[in-house]
Structure 1
Amino acid sequence: MNEEKFIEIVFSSIKDKGVRAAFRRADSSRLNYQCVEFLLKLGIDADNFDHRTAAFTVMASIARSNTSENGAVSFARGLALSFPDKSESDAAILRMRKLCSCENVRELALNLRPILDLISSRNIRVDYASIYRDMLLFRYENQRDNLRIKWMKDFYSQEL
């Protein structure tokens, strides 16, 4: 299943309040078993830790957000836009550096969750499909540097 279709299905599923509540807990290691069935029905490899972590991270973030459809802003650009002085903000730079220092999907998910919550609290609509795609690619060591460069370019971009 492609990333866009997965995100579309998550957004349509959270219209149900019970599903939304379960998805909010998807990134909790003690409670994510409630969402495994959803992954299996979509044909996502729930046995693969990286696939499962990426899906659960995005599902929880979408369920906690105030938006009803996928956005177009990259999460790195959204991070910069979350601060008044944008990519000049020490707090934003620190968060970006912490993300770029991650070495595996688990670390990435742990550092990405609060960033996505922050961006959502500023009503910035991020592109969850690209986040999911990046998380899936991050498991490959030869892709990590390319992703880090992409994120830094988006973060320091002067576009509004």
Structure 2
Amino acid sequence: MAEKKETSRGKAFVDFVLERANPASQRHDSGFAARMKRADNPDLEYQIWNILLKFNVDIEFASRRLPFCLVGAALCRKQAEKDGTFGLGASLRSCFSDDEEQGSMRLRRLLACQTTEEACRILRPMLSLITAKATKPLCFATLLDDLLYFESNGQERIKMRWTRDFYSLFNEPKATEGDAS
């Protein structure tokens, strides 16, 4: 008998949003997509609270609600058919082809965040940049899971992973003119 791998909350939510917001899906709902696009606006996020409740999100606490709002809005704006495969650091770095410092400044600002609310506020414009320019598509499910555990014991580990993902692109060996391959 094969064991079922447990789906994370982030993956379940991202799959749900992709299925409902994708125009090619049989379950497409343009009203859902429109409401979800506005979910990261503090004045309009209430429009998706009923959806969040289906995922057992405690909407009374911003640190539990905002990650879903942020990721849902970014996914619907991107109009992706499937989730990406790269971590936040790698996707951010891919927006800045040869200018490490521009991306590095944004990453450092994110790493300075101490709360989930602050991280979501900093990530909002960063996700707009990533969805518009990244050559390495972001895995929104992983990002959502990271944000859900950001204030728990995993904060430093999450920040280190984002940093490693960002800078590992610079450590890839580059062929030089003198190299004979």
TM-score, with length taken from structure 2: 0.81
Answering whether residue 156 of structure 2 is matched by residue 149 of structure 1, we say: no
Structure richer in helix, relative to its length: 1
Question: What are the within-5 Å matches in structure 2 for residues 2-151 of structure 1?
Answer: 2-14=9-21, 15-85=28-98, 88-122=99-133, 124=135, 125-140=137-152, 142-151=153-162
Larger radius of gyration: 2
Q: How many residues align?
A: 156
Deviation at 1:147, TM superposition (A): 1.1
Extract structure 1 runs of 4+ deviating beyond 3 A: none
Q: Is the 8 A contact 2:92 2:134 kept in 1?
A: no
Q: Give per-residue Cα distances to partners, 1:22-55, cap 9 Å, x unaligned.
A: 1111011110110001111232222232110111
Structure 1 unaligned segments of length 5 or more: list them.
none
CA distance in 2, matches of 1:145, 1:40: 29
Root mean square deviation, CA, Å = 1.5
The share of aligned pairs that are identical, in percent, is 29
Q: 3-state SS of the aligned residue for 1:138?
A: coil
Structure 2 unaligned segments of length 5 or more: list them.
1-7, 22-27, 173-181
Matched residue type, 1:6: F
CA distance in 2, matches of 1:3, 1:60: 14
Deviation at 1:79, TM superposition (A): 0.5
Q: Is the 8 A contact 2:94 2:134 kept in 1?
A: no
